[in-house]
Amino acid sequence: MTSKELIERFKLFAINNATIINILPKDTINQAYSNQLIRSSSSAGANYRAACRTKSTPDFINKLKIVEEETDESIYFLELLEHFNDHLKDQIKPVLK
């Protein structure tokens, strides 16, 4: 996969997460986890784009580690939202994959 393809994939990941957030019931749990998810899912893509602009290999590796952390955090919050919103499992599962 090329860097341009990954940039688009991260963008789609953030968009898909935002779409899920928009259909969640507005309650305390969903609100808290949604706030975290929207930040981490969009941050993964932003940090990948930053990694593509680095000038050194160590800086590139460091940025990719941040991308990995933000992606893992997004997965965690998606799993929590899936747990508390059984009725949306069919919408959440594809984003988790």
pLDDT tens sequence across 41-60: 999 999 999 999 999 999 99
pLDDT digits (tens, 9 = 90+) for 8-32: 999 999 999 999 999 999 999 999 9
The mean pLDDT of 81-85, rounded to a whole number, is 97
Give the CATH number of the domain where residue 31 resides: 1.20.1440.60
Task: Please tell me the total count of domains within the chain.
Answer: 1
Residue 38: predicted pLDDT: 97
Residue 8: predicted pLDDT: 97
What distances in angstroms separate CA 38 from CA 3, 16, 33, 54, 73, one per listed residue? 22, 10, 9, 25, 11
Biggest distance spanned by C-alpha atoms of the chain:
46
Mean pLDDT of the chain: 96
Domain span holding position 66: 3-96
Residue 64: predicted pLDDT: 97
Say how far apart CA 93 and CA 1 lie, in whole Å.
23
Pick from 96, 17, 97, 5: which is nearest to 49 by CA?
5
Rg (C-alpha) for the chain, rounded Å, is 14
pTM, rounded to two decimals = 0.91
